[in-house]
Amino acid sequence: MSFLAELLVEFVIQFVLEVLVELGAHGLKRDRSPLHPALSVVIYVFLGGLLGWLSYLFFPQHMISHPYARIANLVVTPIAVGLALGAIGSWRAKRGTELVRLDKFAYGYAFALAFALARFILGSAG
């Protein structure tokens, strides 16, 4: 049962930070023309890795205690965060709100995977 709680903590941390980035992207979208999709992926992967590194500075210990569970976290959490952001994007679309790329599963997944990889690599090295 503790594995589920640890996974939930990882999910919440990534989800909250990604929602903050999404809100920032919505604010920036009003002032700019859309970026090329490949450039958007690069930016989201960079931001995900950067926020993963910053979160490691504040929480240097792994949230998940078992080594195999950490690997499972690399699969489960990015998918869950991507699905959650995709659901938010669907909700926004139904309300007629303009979407940003982070409102789609693939971009949310790329961000969350970079975040989780950064924490995994830094935690394994330290």
**Where are the chain's structural domains?**
2-125
Nearest to 63 by CA among 17, 115, 7: 7
More confident site: 49 or 103: 49
Contact 74, 116 (CB under 8 A): yes
Planar angle of CA 84, 90, 94, nearest 5 degrees: 145
pLDDT tens-digit map of 43-98: 899 999 999 999 888 887 777 777 888 888 888 889 999 999 899 899 989 998 88
Name the residue among 101, 21, 103 with its Cα closest to residue 54: 21
Q: How confident is the model at residue 27 (pLDDT cuts 50, 70, 90)?
A: confident
Per-residue pLDDT tens over the stretch 108-117: 999 999 999 9
Length of the chain: 126
User: Are the C-beta atoms of 107 and 61 separated by less than 8 Å?
Assistant: no
44 — phi, psi (to 5°)?
Answer: -65, -35
Residues 66 and 3: beta-carbon distance below 8 Å: yes
Residue linked to tokens 């409102």? 103
Q: Residue 25 pLDDT more than 80?
A: no
Residue 23: which pLDDT band, with cuts at 50, 70 and 90? confident
pLDDT at 4 over 80: no
Give the number of other Cβ atoms within 10 Å of residue 35's Cβ: 14
CA pair distance 86, 84, nearest whole angstrom: 5
